[in-house]
Amino acid sequence: MTHPLLSVAPMMGCTDRHFRYLLRLISPSTLLYSEMITTGALLHNEPAAFLQHAADEPVVLQLGGSDPTALAACAKLAEDFDYQAVNLNCGCPSDRVQTGGIGACLMATPDLVADCFSAMQANTHLPVTIKSRIGIDDKDQYDDFLRFVAPLYEAGCRTFIVHARAAILNGLSPKDNREIPPLKYDYVTRIQKDFPEATFVLNGGLKTVAQALEVMAETPSVMLGRAIYHYPWLLADLDTALGLRSAPLIRHEIIAEFRDYMVRQLGKGVRLKHMTRHLLGLHLGQPGARQYRRYLSEHMFEDEADIDVFDVAQSHLQSQAEAANS
């Protein structure tokens, strides 16, 4: 699989199947990622509860794990459930993830990660990729990063997604780990030159179209995360700037399509809050956005919340637009 120019990062609590459905309506070509799902969750429960998805392709399943056999079994599940690739998380710094011996702490054991990669790749026809930081704690020099990448490249990995910060495993929250350790984009551009036959996707700190275009002058692909979660239409702006959009995006049509999706999901027993919680930034900066967010936040958690809650929230935008034009 050739990694597209643009992808949206896997984000716990964010990139579930509902949010991915919205993003796919906005951008036909951006590569999407699932939330990280642990091997234990998949192998000790009904996998369909975690892996079902619809109309969000191309999408990558991100796995959390450190046992090659378990990861191999889950890689096969990714294929069975029609994902387009499978990714191993070697970058999450949260305490809970570390307790399970997965995520960023795996960067301390590159040979184990290489064994995991090999086991996964041997058990699926899907591409297997690695997402990591540039290092952990005080092991954040370029040579430390190189020592992590080299055995994986030797094992056959050709796509690396790199959050260009070190992960501090003790003392920083996941949020602080996304903001405090300094960005070192030069590590990504340098490693790309050292391994020209691989693709290194740059992730971390990108919040605007201008920033993405600037780093893409030296890197083949970029990944954005929180900026798109907080303002989904940024994805359309990026598509346009990168020449990936063949026709103008019409916002009200996208919103109408997602509303239809929510109605269908409500009919299947999905609670409204599981979908509308992703929509708080949908109208960022527009007249009536504050009233829209307030109404949605106050009413979407009610047990009987139905599509009417979304419709009333939307009506605040229309009221403000009419007032502005009067």
pLDDT in tens, 288-315: 999 999 999 999 999 999 999 999 999 9
Residues known to be catalytic = 92
Q: Look at residue 131 and tell me whether its pLDDT is greater than 90.
A: yes
Last residue of a domain, one of 193, 211, 241: 241
pLDDT at res. 280: 96
Q: Look at residue 227 and tell me whether its pLDDT is greater than 60.
A: yes
Tens digit of each residue's pLDDT (9 = 90 or more) over 14-40: 999 999 999 999 999 999 999 999 999
Give the confidence band of 200 by pLDDT, cuts at 50, 70, 90. Answer: very high
Exposed, middle or buried, 33 (CB in 10 Å: 0-12/13-18/19+)?
buried
Give the confidence band of 320 by pLDDT, cuts at 50, 70, 90. Answer: low
Tens digit of each residue's pLDDT (9 = 90 or more) over 175-190: 999 999 999 999 999 9
Q: Look at residue 100 and tell me whether its pLDDT is greater than 90.
A: no
Q: Does one domain contain both 155 and 187?
A: yes
pLDDT at res. 326: 46
Give the confidence band of 167 by pLDDT, cuts at 50, 70, 90. Answer: very high
Q: What percent of the chain has a predicted confidence (pLDDT) above 90? A: 87
Q: Does one domain contain both 227 and 272?
A: no
Tokens representing 129 are 């990729």
The residue range of the domain holding 194 is 6-241
How far is the C-alpha of 267 from the C-alpha of 215, rounded, in Å? Answer: 44
Residue with tokens 């970058």: 91
Residue at 246 is within a domain: no
Give the confidence band of 137 by pLDDT, cuts at 50, 70, 90. Answer: very high
Q: Where are the beta strands (DSSP E) in 221-293?
A: 222-224
Q: What is the mean pLDDT of residues 136-161?
A: 97
Q: What is the mean pLDDT of residues 139-145?
A: 97
What's the first-to-final CA gap in the chain, in angstroms? 53
Q: What percent of the chain has a predicted confidence (pLDDT) above 70? A: 97
pLDDT at res. 1: 60
Q: Look at residue 219 and tell me whether its pLDDT is greater than 80.
A: yes
Report the chain's mean pLDDT, rounded to a whole number.
94
Give the confidence band of 323 by pLDDT, cuts at 50, 70, 90. Answer: low
CATH number at residue 57: 3.20.20.70
Which carries the bigger pLDDT value, residue 310 or residue 244? 310
Return the number of other C-beta atoms located less than 10 Å from residue 260's C-beta: 11
CB 71 within 8 Å of CB 63? yes
Q: Is the dihedral of CA 141, 161, 22, 303 positive or negative?
A: negative
CATH number at residue 293: 1.20.120.1460
Query: Which of 123-127, 132-136, 177-181, 204-208 is predicted least confidently?
Result: 177-181
CB 133 within 8 Å of CB 163? yes
Give how many domains the chain has, as a whole number.
2
pTM of the entire predicted model: 0.94
Q: Does one domain contain both 54 and 114?
A: yes
How far is the C-alpha of 5 from the C-alpha of 159, rounded, in Å? Answer: 13
Give the confidence band of 260 by pLDDT, cuts at 50, 70, 90. Answer: very high
Q: Residue 10: which of 147, 180, 144, 129 has the closest Cα?
A: 129
Q: Does one domain contain both 199 and 118?
A: yes
Tokens representing 323 are 């007032």
How far is the C-alpha of 294 from the C-alpha of 277, rounded, in Å? Answer: 12
Q: Does one domain contain both 148 and 216?
A: yes
How far is the C-alpha of 227 from the C-alpha of 253, rounded, in Å? Answer: 22
How far is the C-alpha of 13 from the C-alpha of 22, rounded, in Å? Answer: 15
DSSP string, 243-286: T--SS---HHHHHHHHHHHHHHHHHTT--THHHHGGGTTTTTTS
Exposed, middle or buried, 203 (CB in 10 Å: 0-12/13-18/19+)?
buried
- Which residues, at least 6 apart from 197, have a Cβ–Cβ distance to it below 8 Å? 158
Q: Does one domain contain both 234 and 278?
A: no
- Which residues, at least 6 apart from 228, have a Cβ–Cβ distance to it below 8 Å? 8, 23, 234, 235
Q: Does one domain contain both 284 and 156?
A: no
Q: Does one domain contain both 87 and 231?
A: yes
How far is the C-alpha of 65 from the C-alpha of 41, rounded, in Å? Answer: 10
